[in-house]
Structures are given as structure tokens and as C-alpha cells.
Structure 1
Amino acid sequence: MSPALREKAARIRFLWREATGEATYDRYVAHARKCDPDAEVLSRREFEKQRVDGREADPREGFRCC
């Protein structure tokens, strides 16, 4: 794969992860490890559950049809 094509693929991957929220967990882990390396980090499942619960609890975040 040419360097230009590899760079475009990396950029598309970055944008896709940002748009879908996939990178949010990675940022959380990096922040948690930076602030307290010995602290226990939530699993991806726990993190996503808290994130969704928080969004659904606040009507200004996200939306619900009902």
C-alpha cells in the first residue's frame, strides 16, 4: 500500500471512530491512567453503560422518541 493511501485510510479510520464514539473509551482510559495510574479503569461495557445511562437521564443529551 502506498504511503498516501495508507495516510488516507488512517484518516478515514480516525474520522469513523470519532463519528461513532468509538474513540471516547480510548480517551477515557488514557485520561484515567494519566490522572491515577493505579486506579481501576472501567471495562468497556461498564463505561458504555454509564455513558448511555447518563445520556438517557438528561433530556438535553441525545434524544428519545417517547
Structure 2
Amino acid sequence: MRSAVARALRGVRWYVRELTDESAYDRYVAHIRKDHPQAEVPSRRDFERMRTDRQEEDPRQGFRCC
């Protein structure tokens, strides 16, 4: 019974992380380590700054009201 509950909670956690794009940094780090092992992995803060800058530069990336 506990394993079923734990599995369900892991599934909910995965779903929420994917829905909110919280896992984007984890995917980026995995990509950098696999495809560019010599490259330096940016910090989470630097990654979020790069991502925000890229979204603001390209109007197709979404609407930003403020």
C-alpha cells in the first residue's frame, strides 16, 4: 500500500514539475553534460537569466504583460 502511495506522489510531483517547467534546468544540465562535456554548466540563476533574456528577445516566446 505504501509503495502505491509513494509511486502516486512521485507521479504527481513529476507532473507538477513538468507543468510548471521546473524541470527545464535539470534537462538542460543533462544535455550539457551529455553533448558538451567540456562546457561549464551554468548555475540555476544564470540559466534562468539566459532563459528570461531569450524569451524577452523573441516575441514568439509568449506574452509578457509586466
Normalising by structure 2, report the TM-score: 0.89
**Partners of 1:45 and 1:16 in 2: how far apart?**
21
Alignment-derived partner of residue 60 in structure 1: 60
5+ long unaligned stretches in structure 2 = none
Alignment-derived partner of residue 23 in structure 2: 23
Alignment-derived partner of residue 36 in structure 2: 36
5+ long unaligned stretches in structure 1 = none
Percent identity, please.
55
**Partners of 1:58 and 1:38 in 2: how far apart?**
29
Q: What is the root-mean-square deviation in Å for CA atoms of aligned residues? A: 1.4
Moved over 3 A (4+): none
1:5: Cα distance to partner?
0.4
Alignment-derived partner of residue 9 in structure 1: 9
Normalising by structure 1, report the TM-score: 0.89
